[in-house]
Structure 1
Amino acid sequence: MKINIVCVGKVKEKFFTGAIDEYSKRLSRYCNLKIIELPDEKTPDNASDTVNDLIKRKEGERILSNIKDDSYVIALAIEGKMLDSVELSKKIDELGISGKSDISFVIGGSLGLSSEVLARADYKLSFSKMTFPHQLMRVILLEQIYRSYRIMKNEPYHK
């Protein structure tokens, strides 16, 4: 299976890049992982809703241009469905069984995802009602995908 992480913004902190590299390495035995890092738009302080929407649309266009037509898209969105680790594992497993061999997880920028990206999503997933920095969310997502594969393979993993 091919797993794509399409994300807006760069990861600058070494502790985040170290964790991302570690989970990417661990995942390499289970799937073909590709992280697609897209530039974010500068958001001015006290920007109007119109400016914020324009920024989200520009980032959304970049996101959509990096998603293949046949990819199953899972958008990370606060309003999405919350799953526990076992449910996420089942979701990924069921997608593979049903013939979906390309899954794209999408992490938006600081303003979230555009309505166009949310409309393209086949599934909306929420990790919490809280907002997380995109760098940390990337680590959390990779850890949960890794945990999902461990669960699928009945391999031990800490709880």
Structure 2
Amino acid sequence: MVKIFVIGKPKTKFIKLGIEQYLKWNRKYDKVELIELPLSNDLNKITPEEYKNQDKVKFEKYFLPDVFKVVLDERGEQLPSIEFANKIERWRIGKKNISFFIGGPLGHHEYIRNNADFLLSISKMTFTHEMAVLLLLEQIYRAFKINNNEKYHY
């Protein structure tokens, strides 16, 4: 099973449609679930540190020992699709379930980064969190296709 935890709910119509499509396509290979966690308080009313602490509390309970934890972070490792597919296969050998964590607008609390099994960067560019979900779902789908020796081209 693959779970994607994200702070905030995707709102843009075309991104929501894309997310739904990739969730549907991924079902052929494994159960892939998107868990949307509520945004914290207004950024203008609390400090960045308080905001990150609230996000930490939301993610912390999903940092289970029997799950391989991948945190999306700009400081993470960038991978070609084939290497990402290979890593997914290896991660599943020790732990059948993989959880991906996409933080809020201020990024992750240090605790989340420090307790991840792997830090992944989608790109050197910055994307909205809803776009990060879509891009991650596409790469997970591509990884499933690669690992099943199926072609994937558009």
Q: TM-score range by the shorter chain?
A: over 0.9
1:5 is displaced (CA, Å) by: 0.1
State yes or no: 1:16 paired with 2:12.
no
Cα root mean square deviation, aligned = 1.4
| Among 97, 103, 115, the residue aligned to 1:120 | 115
The farther-off stretch of 106-115 and 65-74 is 65-74
Q: Percent identity?
A: 36
1:60 is displaced (CA, Å) by: 1.4
Matches within 5 A, 1:6-155: 6-41=5-40, 42-44=42-44, 51-96=47-92, 98-155=93-150
Counterpart residue number, 1:157: 152
Distance in 1, Cα, partners of 2:20 & 2:142: 15
1:110 is displaced (CA, Å) by: 0.6
Point out where structure 1 has 5 or more consecutive residues left out of the alignment: none
* Partners of 1:77 and 1:125 within 8 A in 2: yes
Distance in 1, Cα, partners of 2:72 & 2:121: 6
1:69 is displaced (CA, Å) by: 2.8
For the residue of structure 1 that corresponds to 2:131, the secondary structure is: helix
Q: How many pairs were matched up?
A: 153
1:77 is displaced (CA, Å) by: 0.5
